[in-house]
A and B are shown apart, each in its own frame.
Chain A
Amino acid sequence: MDAQTLARCKAGDPQAIESLVLEHKDRLFRFCLSILDDPADAEDATQESFIAALKALKNYRQESSFQTWLFSIALNTCRGQLRQRTRRARLAAASQPLHRQQAESSNPERAAIAHEHSHAMWQAISRLDEKHRLPVILRYYHELSTQEIAEVLGINLGTVHSRLSIARQHLGAELRQANRPKRAAR
């Protein structure tokens, strides 16, 4: 995003705002989707984050890229949503089973080996705690550099690297463990 367009956005130029939205909405949507793992929630979060970013545009100092800054705002929004979701889940827990998990495991079409591996990997990733899962998603889904990840998460570069290596170690181990009994059965 060039500085000129941003300056025009700050001044309230509707054309500039329109092109800012156009340029960033899809990546922002994918970002929220990857944190929330739910398209409808991701739509809301994208909306909320973008508007929050526009309102806070004066705080953007161009030390990081606009996208990185936008992601860091969206991360906060998504965390808020996750918190609410946890609260809702706690309230609903007594009466209802967890729908999402049920729907997942009742899918019988998991035949292809490649697909099976990839699904097992997704499950292993979703079991990581947040501080290890987020860097993995930002690196391997959003293809951010470690420097950009550090900016989005507000942690330093060394911490990003150590979280990523620990996550890779976990994921590698989990996958091997998941594969072992199946190989023995064949």
Chain B
Amino acid sequence: MGQWSAAVMIRLKELISDLQDFYLLSFRGVLNIFKRPFYLKDTIEQMDYAGAGSFFIIFIVSLFVGMALSLQLSAELSRLGMKVYTGKVVGISVIRELGPVVAALVFTGRVGAGMASELGLMVLGHQVDTLRVFGVDPVKKLVTPRIVSSIIMLPALTIIGDAVSLFGGYYIAVFVSNQSGALYWSSIREELIFENVFSGAIKPFVFGYLIACICCYTGLSTKGGATGLRQSTTKAVVMSIIMIIVSDFVLTRILLYVLGFSV
């Protein structure tokens, strides 16, 4: 019993110090944006990898999510005789909810996992220690560019993803469900009001920041060879996904409240 509680205490202490380190990293990562030296080249490289590199997969995923959503809604709404609402519902779901979340999940899989494994390998190969030996702050050199690139590129990808989803929805609504294209677009345009656009636009910034911090943190705390690398990459992806979904809920709740929607 005594042993058991001692083990729990050790675990708990580890957890708390982990959390503390994580907050410190997230905080310093952002603070460094305003401090010299600026690693512009690294940042641009990261942006290229995260943004341009993710374009194709975001395109495909968003297209099919939009089409599937539109298909489901057309089927259900036409049964109720409310097919005209397809555009409206697709628009709201994509802009406020699905677009940001889908883009963030794809981003985690493609970019976040990459960050964690790359940094993990750098730790194991003593490359991070080498940076410190040379007097270079690894947080500034490695983490800050990744945070910056994520909070710029994820919103951009989300906007592209939203647009592609809406087009996918349009295709199904018009060519499969035989609705009027003009009506589809006009009902979407009606939904492009400040409240909807704002709540869809704020999310990707938060998600991007979370993904970059979580993945860099787990990557940099990698220990113990190939198995350790596997664990930290897995942990990075799992934690990011959980945090995206949970923070999406929390953000939605806050935004609905702030923007004066009644639930």
* A and B together in one complex: no
